[in-house]
Amino acid sequence: MNPPPQLFGRTDESEILGQLLADSRNGRSAVLVLRGEPGIGKTALLRYLTGEAPGFRVARAVGVESEMELPFAGLHQLCGPMLGRLGSLAEPQRRGLSVAFGLASGDSPDRFLVALGALSLLAETAEEQPLLCVVDDTQWLDQASAQILGFVGRRLLAEPIALVFAARTPAGSPDHLAGLPELRLDGLGQGPARALLATVTSGPLDESVRARIIEETRGNPLALLELGRSLSPAELAGGFALPDTGDLPARIEDRYAARLGELPEEARRLVLLAAADPVGDSALLLRAAQVQGLDIRTARLAVESGLLDIGASVRFRHPLVRSAAYRSAAAEDRRAAHDALAAATDPRADPDRRAWHRAHATAGADEEVARELITSATRALRRGGVAAAAAFRERAVALTPDPAERASRALAAAEAKFAAGDFEATQALLVAAEIGPLDELGQAQVQRMRAQIVFALSRGSDAPPLLLRAAQRLETLDAGLARQTYLEALVAVIYAGRLARGPDARQVALAARSAPLGSEPLGHPQMLLRGLALRLTDGYLAAAPALKQALDRYRAQPPGLDWLCVSFNLVAMDLWDDEAWFELAADQVRLARANGTLSWLPFALDYLAEIHIQAGELSQAAALMLERERIDPGTRAATLPYVPLLLAAWRGEYELVEAAVRGDQRERARAAADRLSGIAEASGSSWARGAAARSRALLASGHAAEDLYGEAIDLLSKTRMATHLARARLSYGEWLRRESRRVDARDQLRPAFDAFASMGVQAFAERARRELQATGEKVRRRGDDARVELTPQEEEIAHLARDGRTNPEIGAQLFIGARTVEWHLRKVFAKLDISSRRGLDEALRHRYRRSEAARRG
């Protein structure tokens, strides 16, 4: 490769990059995204960076502008040279990565697992020598690679790895690099811009002309160079009027197009061939040129004009040259180029690229090519390339000659786009499918997908009636799909927050109740459908037995991660079944982590975090929430429900009793307490019965109150719901104090205060403290204690390490590198004042003992 050209200006940027290298050399991972408009100097800075990195092993990947979406192509480029180390990865990660790269066949690996594999591979490689990864033109990477590299970037911390991306602005959507540290590049300053301009202009330049060029190019280096080169001395001397309108890159591209236009026909066609091949494979170019009967020697002219370079691979001087060559060509010439490239591509070694070129070589419909694309789609999906599969299918639709076939392929493509989260493309394909002819089932499926999009885009009240209509239509066509759609409609109703309210909810539920369930004995999905529908039509008491039965059946199955678990999680919460809730949540998190199921983990984490909150284990909850946030900021909204919202929708009576009692609305309070008692009876769980006893106690007096408080505390002590227990004690203590039984009051208030304080529930702790003071006991505020505070992540890592997990195991569980685990652990040791893992158990317990001692003292 040519030596990097001299870099003008960019002193701040070079310093930042130098620091980044120093950091990663010292074992602190560094991640940076260079962003800026075309030609601003991102690639130049990356070249500077790799030139400044002696001692680093350098890995590269470059995105290429092309409609062709080949799954994991970018990641493969980056990791290709490291694949010798695959063997040292944990088995599921190795398998995931191998399948993604097409090295092995197997079930479509979860994106998460592939990401984890990539992270481990980089970390493993960096063990030997610091690793610098540069990823240029990130905006053109395939979706799968971009998402994974973003994921890796968010997780590096203590590995000797520097990961630097370059991406054009404005950022596309979805922006997989969102949230990573950024460095925005603006134009060069006056001095460097002048110096750069001087390298391409010979002879003196009129000062006003120079000033004008710098102003009009806003210091964009590419624009400076191109204008400086292409203007004749006369133009330079006389000044020129660049039209101020239009964006700079487009104008530069136009200039390249004009220069290409000056080449002889044959050379131009060669450049077009090179531009149509996203790989830059010069042997392929040569073969394709032969197919077209072009004399490869004419390429010399293009090379001499400095527009591209043909060595082992073909390199355009700048991506804008490539886009100029492709875009300025006539459609017919472009097709001819793709045709030649398809003919020159080995159908066995590279069937997908060949299919893609063939697809672009075809002007009209072509069943054979369409079928080839669908084969490629299936292959892409097997490797986990959801977006790529969708792209192949979408293209196949346009090429399918038979209208009925086209419609059904459009439906399949719509499903693929929906799975890839591209709702706009889904809508367009549904329109294409509807043009038909489509059979009745197909039409009903279109209807269902439209409803699902509405649900995915807004969890509001629009979706349930749409899902309902789709379910009804499906009833006679596909009973299983109909049932599933009914269930989705019910879940959508619950989301819309209209539980047992509003005509829609009732309508949906009534219709779902009348849906044929199939023959007895019913499976748990059918029981669930019946129970949920009953819940909405006849209320809690009527539905509880059916729901309990369904939940029991479900729990008897091996845990699974499918959309059914969304509904059963709801049921467990609704039944006040804290054991089931905890068990389902913990199973789901374990399962999702173990097989790296990206789509479910955020949801499972939410669900588990919520029960930890209710159990007063706030630091565990916080650690889970943190993990969830870091999985992928971009995925959650599109995929799954948000538990706290759900919970809020299901709840409502809870706080009501206490608020009403305090607000002197005894009638309302009594009504709410009665409802809660009904629920408790139907649910039968200690949690529900304890909460009901407490709310009745709030309304009672004398012995009755005392008995009820006792019952509440008794029952709640048997549950995980420590916050509820503490609140029962607090209410009881308050009541006792009002009865002037100070000593008894203290016996309740003290544990309540302790519980709230160690949970970190400040408001309630303060209330308990004031009550205790009123009984004459002195209590220090917990904030004064010397309790050792760990961050949520440290807390989680410390507990896992205490439980005997190794660093790689913890890393695999939390999706971070083993060194990053070690880095956190060292901080934990320092905070807890211990020197090894052996001290962890004692120190973690001591932390609480010490604070207890502080309280007593």
Ligand X SMILES: Nc1ncnc2c1ncn2[C@@H]1O[C@H](COP(=O)(O)OP(=O)(O)OP(=O)(O)O)[C@@H](O)[C@H]1O
Summarize as ranges the residues that interact with ligand X (CB under 6 A).
5, 7-10, 36, 38-44, 137, 168, 188, 196, 221-222, 225, 318-320
Residue at shortest CB range from ligand X: 41
Decide whether 115 or 248 has the Cβ nearer to ligand X.
248
Q: In the bound complex, what is the minimum distance in angstroms from residue 185's beta carbon to ligand X?
A: 7
Nearer to ligand X by Cβ, of 41 and 596: the residue is 41
Determine, following the binding rule CB under 5 A, whether residue 220 of this chain makes contact with Mg ion.
no
Buried b or exposed e, range 163-177, using 16+ CB within 10 angstroms: bbbbbbeebeebbbb
DSSP 316-352: ESSHHHHHHHHHHS-HHHHHHHHHHHHHHS-TTT-HH
813 contacts 807 by C-beta, under 8 angstroms: no
State the nearest-atom distance from the C-beta of 42 to ligand X, in Å. 3
Q: Please give the biggest Cα pair distance in the chain.
A: 106
Which option in ligand X, Mg ion, none does residue 737 bind, with CB closer than 5 to 8 A by kind? Answer: none
Q: Which of residues 405-444 bind Mg ion (CB under 5 A)?
A: none
Q: DSSP 3-state assignment of 624?
A: helix
Q: Which two tokens stand for residue 560?
A: 């699974």
Classify 74 as helix, strand or coil.
Answer: helix
* Distance, CA of 400 to CA of 366 (rounded, Å): 6
Q: Closest distance between Mg ion and the C-beta of residue 275, in Å?
A: 16
Q: Smallest gap, in angstroms, from Cβ of residue 34 to ligand X?
A: 8
Residues 6 or more apart in contact with residue 700 via CB below 8 angstroms: 708
How far is residue 218's CA from residue 26's CA, in Å, rounded to a whole number? 38
User: Measured from the CB of residue 255, what is the shortest distance to ligand X in angstroms?
Assistant: 13
| Residue number with CB closer to ligand X (196 or 691) | 196
Nearer to ligand X by C-beta: 41 or 525?
41
CB of 814 to Mg ion, least distance (A): 35
Task: Give the closest residue to 163 by CA, choosing from 202, 128, 118, 208.
Answer: 118
Query: Which does residue 39 bind out of ligand X, Mg ion, none, counting CB within 5 to 8 angstroms by kind?
Result: ligand X
Given ligand X, Mg ion, none, residue 7, with its beta carbon under 5 to 8 Å by kind, binds ligand X
Q: Which amino acid is at 238?
A: G
The smaller minimum CB distance to ligand X, of residues 142 and 339, is found at 142
Give me the least distance between CB of 559 and Mg ion, in Å please. Answer: 48
Least Cα distance to 798 among 623, 576, 539 occurs for 623
Rounded-to-integer distance, Cα 402 and Cα 683, Å: 57
The residue (of 12 and 784) whose beta carbon lies closer to ligand X is: 12
Q: Which is nearer to ligand X, 15 or 681 (CB)?
A: 15
User: Residue 44 binds what, of ligand X, Mg ion, none (CB under 5 to 8 Å, by partner type)?
Assistant: ligand X
Q: How far is the CB of 225 from ligand X (least distance, A)?
A: 5
Name the binder of 318 from ligand X, Mg ion, none, CB < 5-8 A by kind.
ligand X
Q: Nearest distance from residue 260's CB to Mg ion, in Å?
A: 19
**Residues ≥6 apart with Cβ < 8 Å to 135:** 60, 61, 62, 63, 74, 78, 141, 149, 163, 164, 165, 166
| Other residues' Cβ atoms within 10 Å of the Cβ of residue 809 | 16
10 Å Cβ neighbour count for 740? 9
Element (H, E) at 61: strand 57-62
Token code pair at residue 810: 């913890």
Residue 41 interacts, among Mg ion, ligand X, none and using kind-specific CB cut-offs from 5 to 8 Å, with: ligand X
How many amino acids of this chain bind Mg ion (CB under 5 A)?
2
**What is the number of other CB atoms lying within 10 angstroms of the CB of residue 835?**
9
Closer of 35 and 530 to ligand X (Cβ): 35
Site mask for Mg ion (CB under 5 A), range 262-301, x = bound: ----------------------------------------
Order of strands across the sheet that contains 182-184: 57-62, 131-136, 161-168, 30-36, 182-184
Question: Per-residue x/- mask for Mg ion, residues 24 to 53, rule CB under 5 A?
Answer: ------------------xx----------
Q: How far is the CB of 8 from ligand X (least distance, A)?
A: 4
- Residue 362 interacts with which of Mg ion, ligand X, none, CB < 5 to 8 Å by class: none
Residue 11 or residue 105: which is nearer to ligand X going by CB?
11
From the list ligand X, Mg ion, none, partner contacted by residue 221 (C-beta under 5 to 8 A by kind):
ligand X
CA distance 236 to 727: 82
By beta-carbon proximity to Mg ion, the closer residue of 327 and 770 is 327
Q: Which residues are at the interface with Mg ion (CB under 5 A)?
A: 42-43
